[in-house]
Amino acid sequence: MHDFQYREENLYCEDFSIEAIAKEVGTPFYLYSLNTLESHFQAFDSAFSKVNHLVCFSAKANSNIAILRVFVRRGGGVDVVSGGELFRAMKAGARPERIVYSGVGKRPEEIEYALEFPILMFCVESAQELLAIDGIAGRMGAKAPVALRVNPDVNPQTHPYITTGLKKNKFGINIRKSIDDYILASTLPNIKVIGVSCHIGSQLTDVGPFVEAVQRIKELALKLRAEGIHIQYIDLGGGLGITYHQEEPPHPREYAQSLLNELGEIECTLILEPGRVIVGNAGILVTKVLYAKEGGEKNFIIVDAAMNDLIRPSLYGSYQRIQPVQKKERPEIVADVVGPICESADFLAKDRKLPRMEAGELLAVMSAGAYGFSMSSNYNSRPRAAEVLVDKGRFYIIREREDYDDLIKGEFIPDILA
């Protein structure tokens, strides 16, 4: 469910006409519905209401500080994967004791930064990282709370670029070897072992792989307790999928019930790190048609948004639904929707059946709220798009469109070139 619906012929976000927003902010821009964001968070959070839990929104899915704020305000935590995301979480008003920090390559200064607050826990991805954190915590006179991120070796049946829980993936510590690392961790003077964590992949549309992962994580947690290592937190990561096209992912309620059934009466606080399922369908990318090129081998609709704005189709071959902002009677064509970037991989859709669009008309690229703006770049020296949040009949710019000066911020021509 989301709040992007037609009224008569015009696409609205909540109570605001998208065409009217485009007139004021220009194109392309990302548009988010506050109501959708809040109701998705609420639906996910309440699905776990029977147990002690903390929903840490995965900042990399959408890291705008206003978006993070929406969840923080509702009691959510944040899952960060870099010092920069931790900075954003703090700017959004997150409570450090609700922040978890994952990622295979945490740098020493990032570890130090996180220990200053301190955060709820580090999800540690290797024995060497454990030693690094221990050393830094020791120098700071701190004790670092950690979970080991284990790799349960389950196949999430998703795109190979977004599987993370297979033995061959770079993430986490092999679950069978993790006991040794846990024992090592428990001997380190500046480390406090408090949890087990995992994250098996993204855009999963079946509960099976999650259930399999939970079985293995639970088994590990019980083994660790038997070894005298007190596990207080079980972090099951994110990964629940959404409908982009025809996928039928489980509702968060169903997902939660499957996890909870499997966990049974294990005493601990459950941590979840959803990203896509909360924001994916709460945002769209609005773009303007520049030109239509028809009559050759293929038809092309050339728009003002490109792979630098939304890279998912180019990177993963992902399907994004595309629809006209103004629906009216017109003939259909089959076309590629492409951007202005000088790469053949610059497309938003291939061989898509669409109404014939004229220059100046608007298209809405649906389901763009997750891994949209947060993966955007300045490639081809394109200023990044604006981001807009709608609350009922009002809209707020939550990130200004970049200008040319932003493009060269921090660049210098040295004197030798004068």
* Residues involved in catalysis: 342
Q: What number of CA atoms fall less than 13 Å from residue 361's CA on the CB side?
A: 19
Contacting ligand PLP (CB under 6 A), which of 58, 281, 299, 320?
58
79 touches ligand PLP by CB under 6 A: yes
Give me the residues paired with residue 29 across strands: 286, 386
Among 28, 83, 156, 238, binds ligand PLP (CB under 6 A): 238
Q: Which of 31, 61, 72, 92 binds ligand PLP (CB under 6 A)?
A: 61
Written as six digits, the tokens of 155 are 């196949």
Looking at 53-61, 173-181, 294-302, 319-327, which segment touches ligand PLP (CB under 6 A)? Answer: 53-61
**For the purposes of burial, counting CB atoms within 10 Å of the CB of 140, is it exposed (0-12), middle (13-18) or buried (19 or more)?**
middle
Smallest gap from residue 239 Cβ to ligand PLP (A): 4
Closer to ligand PLP by Cβ: residue 124 or 277:
277
Listed ranges 70-78, 132-140, 174-182, 233-241: which one lies at the site for ligand PLP (CB under 6 A): 233-241
Least separation in angstroms between residue 367's CB and ligand PLP is 13
Q: Encoding tokens for residue 252?
A: 């968060």
CA 102 to chain centre: 13
Cβ nearer to ligand PLP, comparing 198 with 325: 198
**CA–CA separation, 341 and 302 (whole Å):** 10
> Shortest distance, CB of residue 396 to ligand PLP, whole angstroms?
24
| Contacts to ligand PLP from residues 172-201, by CB under 6 A | 199
Is the Cβ of residue 33 or residue 202 nearer to ligand PLP in the bound state?
202
Using CB under 6 A as the criterion, what x/- string covers residues 111-140 for binding ligand PLP? ------------------------------
Contacts of 203 (CB under 8 A, 6+ apart): 158, 159, 162, 239, 241, 242, 247, 276
Please, what is the minimum distance in Å from the beta carbon of residue 374 to ligand PLP?
10
| Interhelix angle 252-263/34-47, nearest 10 degrees | 20
> Shortest gap between Cβ of 148 and ligand PLP (angstroms)?
13
Nearer to ligand PLP, 77 or 237 (CB): 237
Contact, 200 vs 149, CB < 8 A?
A: no
Candidates 172, 237, 339, 369; binder of ligand PLP (CB under 6 A) is 237
CB 207 within 8 A of CB 255: yes
Residue with smaller CB distance to ligand PLP, 239 or 339: 239
Sketch the per residue contact string, 321 through 360, with ligand PLP: x for CB under 6 A, - otherwise: ----------------------------------------
Cα distance between residue 80 and residue 87, in whole Å? 9
Residue of the chain from 202, 308, 318, 376 that contacts ligand PLP (CB under 6 A): 202
Q: Terminus-to-terminus CA distance in the chain, angstroms?
A: 58
Residues 152 and 172: their CA atoms lie apart, in Å, by: 9
Candidate residues 239, 252, 283, 324; the one interacting with ligand PLP per rule CB under 6 A:
239
Count of residues near ligand PLP by CB under 6 A = 18
Site for ligand PLP in 240-279 (CB under 6 A): 240, 273-277
| 201-211: b (≥16 Cβ within 10 Å) or e | bbbbbbbebbe
Residue keyed to tokens 């049974």: 264
Minimum Å gap between C-beta 252 and ligand PLP is 11
**x/- map, 366-385, ligand PLP, by CB under 6 A:** ----x---------------
Find the shortest distance in angstroms from Cβ 370 to ligand PLP.
Answer: 6
| 102: contact with ligand PLP by CB under 6 A | yes
Provide, rounded to whole angstroms, the least separation between the CB of residue 58 and ligand PLP: 3
| 53 is an interface residue for ligand PLP by CB under 6 A | no
Q: Which is closer to ligand PLP, CB of 11 or CB of 147?
A: 147
Q: Interface residues with ligand PLP (CB under 6 A)?
A: 58, 60-61, 79, 81, 102, 199, 202, 237-240, 273-277, 370
